[in-house]
Structure 1
Amino acid sequence: MRHWNDRMLKTKMFISFSVVSLFIVGITCCIFYYKNTNDSKAQTFSLSNIISKQFSEMIDLYMQNVEELSLAISIDPSIQSILFDFYKESDPIKKEVVGYKLNPILFNFSYPKPYVQSISIYSLDSHLYQYSKLVDPRPRMLLTLDQLQQFKSTLNSNAFVIMPVDEDDQHREKAVSFVRKITKIPTQTIIGFVNIHINVNAFKMVLANTNANELEHSMHVLIVNDEGRIIYENGSSGSTGGEQRFEFDRTASKGELRWKQTDFLYTAVKSGYTGWHTVILIPKDVLLLKQKRIQDIVLLVGVLTMLLIAAVSYVLSHHITLPLNKLMRNMSRVELGDFSHRMEYAGRNELGKLSRMYNHMLDSISRLIHEAYESKLAEKNAQLSALHAQTNPHFLYNTLNIMKSISRLRGIEEVADISESLAGLFQYSMKNIHQPVTLQEEIDHIRNYFTIQQHRFGNRIQLQCDIPEHLLQASVLKLTVQPLVENAFNHGLRKVKSGGCITLHAAESKGVLTLTLHDNGEGIPEKTMAELQRAFLMSNALNPYKGEAHGIGLLNIRQRIQLFYGKEYGLHITSSSGKGTSVSLTLPYRTDLKESHKAREATL
């Protein structure tokens, strides 16, 4: 799931559309395939059932014509007269002579009927008279007395008997025997039998007249009797008809079976007239071929549908993600601080609304940034003024106490010196407090301050300035060094009786000016030093330190430098108890005051 969430929206839309469409198209194609397959199978059964019924009905009509022919022969007066004469004669030779009179009569009956192969007349004593259209006039079937007696009993209840002809000669055409009794008129006494041999190949004419043209090249038509003997099979030579047996479920009208190593669908219809089963066999390969065509069509339609859906989903996802990608690029520019780019999508849909909301958001952000910038400038100026105000009143209070003490103890000349130095201090402190000055100006201000402090401490404290000549024109922030000297007097050297020394050192390296002020006073206690370091870490210009008031002056100087130059500059302090304190200021090294003003504006 995590990998899926990490994918691009365009990819997820394409995959989702494709999977859903593939599922729907697959289910639809499967349903279509199986439905059409079942429909094709049902249609095949229905068509073959119609063909089998038509073929069976036409065979019945065909056999009814044979029955009419047999009836005409059995009641023909000439044939009955000849049979009477036959039974009157006792001489076998005369019997044969009488029998030959049947030939022209049988010829007249059989000639107009192309399906009649031969007509035989049997006497009750198994004597045979036959007319045949075959080149070889040998009798095809010679009935014995037992068979005649069986026929006699059977024909008492049935008008005729139909049975296949067993042939020993494999080259003869297959035939069906239609046997009917000949009765004496009007007594209805049996005087003989007529046996009509029907050529089964004549059934092909019946088959050709059916409506099975679309299946005639693949279907098999069988006529099977109740014993399973094949009376007729289309497409087979006449030599195989009656010798084969065909077994199937006679209680079912349709189904599937395997015959001659081939799988078939079959339908069967039993004739109520002849008792024969007309069976239509359709090879399953034909149905499978249809199924294969349906499958190919389904696959083709499925593939085309998938390609179409994939193309539509790709275009749709691209259309949706294109403005989103543009929005992401614009947001990347905003992240870098560029608020000038706007979305140009003008639609009224969700993307259009999102674009307009994005543009309104950028306008609001730009307005708020401008307002916050101006507020920040005003706040910083107020903070600088407040920091400066925290420094000057304290110094002014101490100076006035000094002037009061000296004026009582000594005289007016010293007060004049102090007043002169104090005037220089006020003039320097009150003029352009926010503008940078040169290091030389800051040192002159320190010397005025030191002159006043010497009247307080005498020669107990000395000031040493170790500053290279070329660094005196460096730009520094006003009143950042003097408060450090004041701290050294008030905290580090206040208890020193003699030998106190304050050293000011300046150095430049890689564009950074470092001012170091060191005193050899008593140092800062470890606890106070720890609190001061914690105050440096926790406080800034917008969040003043609210702990104990240790090193407020140092915090103010540090905050002023960072507000003016940036957070990479500031104040660093090191102290060791009994060895003194060192305070280092780091500032950018600049000699042009105008450049300092521009740098300050860029920082703000």
Structure 2
Amino acid sequence: MLRTRLRHGMFENMWKTMKLRTKLILCFVLLISIPSITNAIIHYKTSSDIIVSNAEDSILEIVKKKTEISDLLLNTIESRTIDLISDPDLFRLFDREKPQTDMELLQMDRQASAILDKYFRNEQDFYTVQLVTSYYSFSGGGTTYTSTSPFVSVAPRGFVNSYIYDKIAVADGSLQWFPTYDLTRIFGQPELSGMDAKFRMVFSTGRLLNISPIIDGVSRSWPAEVERPVLLINFNEEYYRQNMVQTPTIQGSYFYVVSSEGQIVTHPDSSRLGMTDENGWYKQFKTVSGTSLVREGEEDVLIGYAASGITGWVTVYVVPYRQLLRNLPTVSYTDLFVTLVLIILSIAISYFISDRLTQPIKKMMAAIQQTGAGDFTTQIQDPSQLEFRILIKKYNQMNEKIAELIEENYKSTRREKEAEMLALNLQLNPHFLYNTLNIINWMALDREEAEISQMIVSLSTMLQYTVNNGQEDVLLEKDLNWLKSYTHIMEKRYAGIFEVEYQLGDLPSSAVVPKLFLQPIVENAIIHNMQTLEKDGRIIISGQRCGEELHFAVCDNGKGMTKEQINDLIIRDSGGIGIRNVKKRLNLMYGEQAKIQIQSEVGRGTVVTIMIPLISRLK
């Protein structure tokens, strides 16, 4: 780690002390060599991708064709087994009790052979075709349905005890396919285990025969006590390979067939027949057909696969990846030669360009020094190069902008001083107004106009509160006192029309609230909700502490509002600066903790509730 840091610091110092011309030469060399090398790599990668893509399409097409051919052959077999189900001769042959003598069994065997001969006479490549029951394997000695290979008759008892019989019995008459297995082991015939593997290893199909032919116009079926025979057809693994899979043309490639459970049906390596596919590729086959790039041992291989619609088995075509790219040319010497020529040209061009670049840079450095000394009026003439023209233009604009900001800052400072002077003058004007109101108050008292005097005192209190207190948040006690002065004046203004009642609970004296937050609500109740009343109007202003919140309500018995009017009041603030203004102020101060609720009924009145967090002046 320390060595890496030292090396990095050394290169960083070398770059800092390197001349501009040297940097340009180095940059030009890198700019030419890196794209050239990158282009060669991309060309190689693109070519290989095209080859692999074409190979994928070809491999997939081949394996799908092979699967279609196999499905045609297997479908023919299934069709013949279906024809066998409706055979009346076969129905009569087994429509009886279990034979008691060997002679009866031999007679049945000959008849069964004749029946099977009708349907499978031309299938010389079948290994065996048998009708198997728990007591006998019919057609076991015939040669019509076998190849030239040795014939192996299925042991009835071993067959009935095998998983193959169990699966056929559960299938209730549907055709079942079984991947390659050792029949001497599965059917309990160890005396035949010494046979050549190509005769022991078979794949099979079977069907439980529930025969129901139409005889003399009547549909017949066996009684329950009659044992249903099983049609069992065995195939050599060679049959699958010869009829459905041709020899691959690409060196090192091969076909094999695997069941959905991973059991190998056919494979060039006969020792793997009936074994579980150790590659585990079958677990990745999520679609009916496709291609995939996988690993086989130490080598990458491209596989194409397609599933049979009859058996569900998957035909896999394996092609070594290296064989696909064996004819792909490497990067040619021409590319290397062109790269070297471009590097030499870049060195020569860099010398020429560096000289042209240094002239405007020197001019700009001189101008920057003047700007650093405080001369923001410095302007540089536009050079001929477009890039430097843009840079110098931005530099000139920057100087102009700095000069404008300095001028604007000067004017802003001057306006602030003027505002301070205006504020001092405004502080003098209210004193004159207070004195005038005080004189009017004494004149009212001299004339024994107590109500007028009280209104003047309330107005003076309100004026003093609004002018002298420039804070946005105030003590709740002071704000309520101001509100009481306001409601007192409004009660006198609308004498006899309504009364205001305060129901204030145990509110903390140190609580802080937004200035005049209740006044717009009360004003809205007076001006809009009481306008239709001539008397008996009532406004109740209540407040209480609820945990860590303060709840206030303004309730009136005025004309009320519809839902549309309430929405219009909140959204458009049709009532002036009232509720919407209060809502904005509360949201600015408390965020989502502040809530305003409006409940109203036409002809009965309105209740506006405000809920805000409890904030103390001490906090």
TM-score by length of 2: 0.42
TM-score by length of 1: 0.43
Query: Which structure would you say has the larger Rg?
Result: 1
